[in-house]
């Protein structure tokens, strides 16, 4: 007699709109992950995990290959998505979405972690950072030390870019309780992107977002209204 094997259902993943930020007439929208987890492209290559409580930042027009946030025409909840050559794909489920029902509201340009004590496979806290242990594709920009800005090296092993950035902070005897931090491929854009975060937050910039963010962040910020709704 054959044993019955119920079909496994996809893991639940939900996001919700939680405010916006204006730079003159340009808008960055925020979406909080309310349930579940997913993986997205990380700065410098590879993937980064996003989990409940993380904040997704969306700006500009998404193109083929980009991750985005989708909203339905009419009523419904937003979804994390990706634009493929065949149209919109929901993430992390991989289900194709009809353009008659869904549309992109912007490209995913980064995500913010409020609690950077993220569990992960951290390979020791490096006692010595040399050319063999540094990931030269990304930089960690930190504000708050005597009112200045520090640029720290990030190890190239030990988890995703966020986990490795946390290891770098720990190696320097630093925490983000009263500081802001950004991980990105372009140091100058990462410096400007400190404007997008509050003390205690770590922002990981999406790959290939430097040009678009550089133009955006060159504008004067009018106000920040993220987290109005949790």
Sorted by where each begins, the domain ranges of the chain are 14-224
Query: Above 70 in pLDDT, residue 39?
Result: yes
User: What pLDDT does 148 receive?
Assistant: 81
Amino acid 126: pLDDT: 38
pLDDT above 70 for 105: yes
Confidence of residue 53 (pLDDT cuts 50, 70, 90): very high
Burial class (CB in 10 A: 0-12, 13-18, 19+), 171: middle
The proportion of the chain whose per-residue pLDDT surpasses 90, expressed as a percent, equals 43
Indicate if the pLDDT at residue 81 is higher than 90.
Answer: yes
Kindly tell me if the per-residue pLDDT of 2 is higher than 60.
no
Distance CA 161, CA 49 (A): 9
Q: Provide the pLDDT for residue 147.
A: 65
Tell me the mean pLDDT in the region 185-208: 91
pLDDT score of 157 more than 90: no
127, 168 contact by CB (below 8 A) = no
Please report the pLDDT score of residue 129 as a whole number.
Answer: 46
**CB neighbourhood size of 154 (10 A):** 25
Say whether pLDDT at 1 is over 80: no
Question: Which distant-in-sequence residues (6+ apart) come within 8 Å of 162 by Cβ?
Answer: 42, 48, 49, 113, 116, 118, 183, 202, 204
**Given a cut of 90, is residue 71 above it in pLDDT?**
yes
Tokens linked to 53:
């409580």
Distance between CA 138 and CA 25 in Å, rounded? 30
The CA-based diameter of the chain, rounded to the nearest angstrom, is 72
Q: C-alpha dihedral over 152, 113, 211, 156, to 10 degrees? A: 40
pTM: 0.84
């Amino acid at each position: 007699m054959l044993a019955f094997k119920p079909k496994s259902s996809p893991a639940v993943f939900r996001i919700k709109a939680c405010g916006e930020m204006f730079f003159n007439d340009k808008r960055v929208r925020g979406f909080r992950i309310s349930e579940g987890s997913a993986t997205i492209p990380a700065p410098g290559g590879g993937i980064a995990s996003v989990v409940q409580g993380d904040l997704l930042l969306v700006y500009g027009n998404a193109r083929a290959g980009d991750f985005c946030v989708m909203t339905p025409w009419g009523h419904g909840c937003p979804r994390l998505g990706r634009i493929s050559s065949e149209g919109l794909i929901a993430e992390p489920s991989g289900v194709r979405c009809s353009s008659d029902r869904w549309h992109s509201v912007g490209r995913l340009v980064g995500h913010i972690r409020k609690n950077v004590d993220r569990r992960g496979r951290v390979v020791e806290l490096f006692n010595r950072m040399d050319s063999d242990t540094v990931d030269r594709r990304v930089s960690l920009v930190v504000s708050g030390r005597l009112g200045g800005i520090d640029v720290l090296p990030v190890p190239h092993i030990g988890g995703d870019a966020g986990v490795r950035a946390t290891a770098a902070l720990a190696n320097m005897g630093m925490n983000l309780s009263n500081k802001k931090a950004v991980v990105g491929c372009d140091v100058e854009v990462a410096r400007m992107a400190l404007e997008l975060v509050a003390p205690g937050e770590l922002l990981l910039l999406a790959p290939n977002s430097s040009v678009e963010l550089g133009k955006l962040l060159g504008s004067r910020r009018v106000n920040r209204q993220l987290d109005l709704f949790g």
